[in-house]
A and B are shown apart, each in its own frame.
Chain A
């Protein structure tokens, strides 16, 4: 490896790679003369990110013909849209089938390009190749628009709504780091949209309070109606009942949007469950059910002088349902909340008041969907493993006894100590967590070498990390359900892949600011020095090395999935979704 430094280069900056090259100064002036930008005070914006600069660099103007799909349900997106001209139509329910909206897997290397890695890979580590720079420069350009066929039939069979010029949409996915919740298509020819990447939207909201409150309001309204439509027990309600539930439901948010810092402080102070904010407490009267929408919460129960973790609840899980149903069925023998629900991270919840559940929801339900009564005494007292009640009830009705017991016992198969370990370290956030069975791992480092071979000779993870018993969680990007690393990125270099949602870094737009590496609660992002083809470290004009963020990309462009997992000779390493415990329980007992 050469140690000679190459000639100085300009350090990458935020807008070296604007969202689009096609937006002109005239376009910017035109935008500034129309709502909502005309009402924004330019003085509120800092000199480093003026309003014209944000519009010039973080937006682009897109044109669509009638029927062309603008966003697809299920895709990950990091931008919002403002309709400049024309109208758009949002498909509410039922959702369009994937084939109709042209969902397809991301392009992987062809077989010849895979083989060409034998001689084509650079000899030096982290070589910043020119072809890579140009390949990644515009991550969304060249996208082919898909036209939805037979629109009249779709309008006939699917409930839709119209969005008019001047309205924003797409802000839920852009702001919550979640998939798009609906498919939206252009409703007129020459529909013109302003697409704002989320870094720009964040700046606009930060420096213009009016836009912030407007986006917050529509975000809450749309998110609430979308989320409530997913709650299983609403399926049994008539329209009037659904309207009552919707009117009474509260939308609450706990924790800091950027919870990484809080977690690090808590961990440094030897944090325990007792120090986490509480949503609802064991022993209190159950005055509503809490439905998790995003983020996670810890379910605990008093044990001796502390709190024992029984489970963690992610999106779609419900708390307080069993108690309210019990009290409705046995008003003379009421029970309080059996567990405490604590905030871990940034948590969105929906709260439906107990009175609405008792008056509207429970009377509408068939008997077999009601949960079992809570036993306050004996061996079966207050089962702590609160699964989605409807999932359990439906399992009870349909599945074989073996399947039922297997599903219900995932938590017990994992064990409370391992659960405590996963929760204390916030590993539940990972959708592709690298877990290693140290009883089988021979420390051969084949996984590390395979990763290096497929990633510029530099492994994207450390085969080391917190260990519980024989299970190690290695320092590899977990592709979190809530990727806080994305929060501070000024250029959008770290983003979700639109198809499967892997968190990936675009090296062309990464400016090496270290925001993502500092934000990652798990230390899974590393800053690496860039080199030229001869191995010389690239030096910026300030005489410091040019660095870029690197991390596991789950071998998104390779055949067969993650090379680390495929390279393990002993079946010791696996990439596991820890959002729920089912996959982990199955792997532990493989």
Chain B
């Protein structure tokens, strides 16, 4: 028993314990939204909608937007 605790990765079929939903939700809400905001700026800002005025954000990520498959002008 002590051995299996000392070398936990030697059993490839072991399934880790579930994480309680309550422990995930705060992280998921805060960082989920943050990540979506980042994706919005890469994928859609100054296309159909604009938060920042002008064309600079759009022009800066222009090639990434095309190559990542987002709709672009």
Question: Does A associate with B in a complex?
Answer: no
Residues of B within 8 A of A (CB): none
Residues of A within 8 A of B (CB): none
